[in-house]
Structure 1
């Protein structure tokens, strides 16, 4: 669970770009490479799914992924 303050809604599309970090002060040592959500997008799209970001009713960020259900 993450209780951070969230991000600006203008950043929602950018957070899925490879190497994108909102906080420019962060470095590889202190804040990751900015690849986590880009990898998630690749995996979800590889399964014909969708990934989206919206504002959480708790005030932070809500990331949702949807995958198709294949019934044979």
Structure 2
């Protein structure tokens, strides 16, 4: 049972990482965009997989359009 739970947990963590890396601002406001990123980072932290502030900033910048760069 513990192995099954840890596999599901690992799958969930991988899904969160993929979701985080794929996020783009698109038509969201900056507030909505950064809130979504923070929510995923908080979920990862609750799984014991914290994302550093520098990584969060890099993820935010990576998902912005040229208008913001």
When normalised by structure 1's length, the TM-score is: 0.28
Would you tell me which structure has more strand in proportion to its own residues?
1
The higher-RCO structure (CA 8 Å, 6+ apart) is 2
When normalised by structure 2's length, the TM-score is: 0.28
